[in-house]
Structures are given as C-alpha cells and as structure tokens.
C-alpha cells in the first residue's frame, strides 16, 4: 500500500459514509412503503421517514463541513459530476410523476425524497474518493 494511502486510511474521520448509507436506507424504506400502499400511502409515516432522512443528511453535512485538512478539490470534483448525473435522472423521474398526475401531497413527498437522495449520493461518492486522496 502506498504511504499516502496508509496515512489517509489512518486518519480519524467522522462516520460520514455510514450516515449517508443509513440516510439512503431510510429513503428506500419510504419509497417501498409508498409504492406498496398506493393510491393511499400512509402520509404521516412517510413524512416521518423523510424528516429522519433530512435530519441525518443535515448532520452529515455539518460533520463534513467541520473537516480540516481534507481533499476538498477531489471531493467537489466527484460530487459535482455525480450530482449532475443524479439531477438528470431525478429530473426525468419528476417529469414522469407529474406526467402521471401523481396527487399533490404524494408528489411533494416523492420530490423531497428525490432531493434528499440527490444530495446524499454525491456527498457519499465525493467523501469516499476524497478520504483517500492527498489533501495537499
């Protein structure tokens, strides 16, 4: 193993990856719950899952923003291109939901779930790459 990779692996970093995966899992549970209960999904449960995912994402953003000596250039390069890809995919999904005339409250929850994932996945990819990159 390269010395720079060993030093990057030895650094103590917050559990950004683990929180991002839990955030995705909460959104997936919400999506499965919604799909299994259409046309009348349990909105209080879905809103609760969405709120939990948003809180986890917010905590992750705070943890990430407090990192010093991190490979931010690599993080933003990876996160930027991942975000672009996900925004295109989720834009097409959003168009499909609108085209299929998904009701207002269901559409709102779906849109916010997509937004959480559209921030969470680029954060996860960017962090995973940058944690092993040389910060200088």
pLDDT digits (tens, 9 = 90+) for 20-71: 999 999 999 999 999 999 889 999 999 999 999 999 999 999 999 999 999 9
- Mean pLDDT for the stretch of residues 4-18: 76
Tell me whether residue 117 is in a domain.
Answer: yes
How far is Cα 47 from Cα 34, in angstroms, rounded to an integer?
Answer: 11
How far is Cα 103 from Cα 100, in angstroms, rounded to an integer?
Answer: 9
- Given a contact cutoff of 8 angstroms between Cβ atoms, the answer to whether 127 and 64 are in contact is yes
How far is Cα 118 from Cα 122, in angstroms, rounded to an integer?
Answer: 7
Reported pTM: 0.89
Tell me whether residue 2 is in a domain.
Answer: no
Tell me whether residue 108 is in a domain.
Answer: yes
Number of independent structural domains in the chain: 1
What integer pLDDT is reported at residue 26 of this predicted model? 98
Sign of the CA dihedral with 81 first, then 82, 85, and 86 last: negative
Banded model confidence at residue 128, pLDDT cuts 50, 70, 90: very high
Write out the residue range of the structural domain in which residue 78 sits. 15-130
């Amino acid at each position: 193993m390269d010395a720079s990779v060993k030093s990057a692996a030895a650094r103590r970093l917050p559990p950004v990856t683990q929180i991002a995966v839990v955030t995705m899992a909460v959104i997936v549970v919400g999506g499965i719950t919604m799909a299994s209960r259409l046309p009348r999904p349990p909105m209080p449960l879905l809103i609760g899952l969405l709120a939990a995912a948003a809180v986890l994402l917010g905590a992750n953003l705070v943890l990430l923003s407090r990192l010093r000596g991190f490979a931010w250039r690599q993080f933003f390069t990876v996160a930027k291109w991942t975000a672009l890809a996900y925004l295109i995919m989720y834009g097409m999904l959003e168009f499909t939901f609108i085209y299929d005339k998904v009701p207002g409250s269901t559409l709102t929850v779906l849109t916010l779930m997509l937004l959480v994932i559209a921030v969470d996945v680029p954060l996860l990819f960017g962090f995973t790459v940058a944690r092993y990159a040389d910060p200088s």
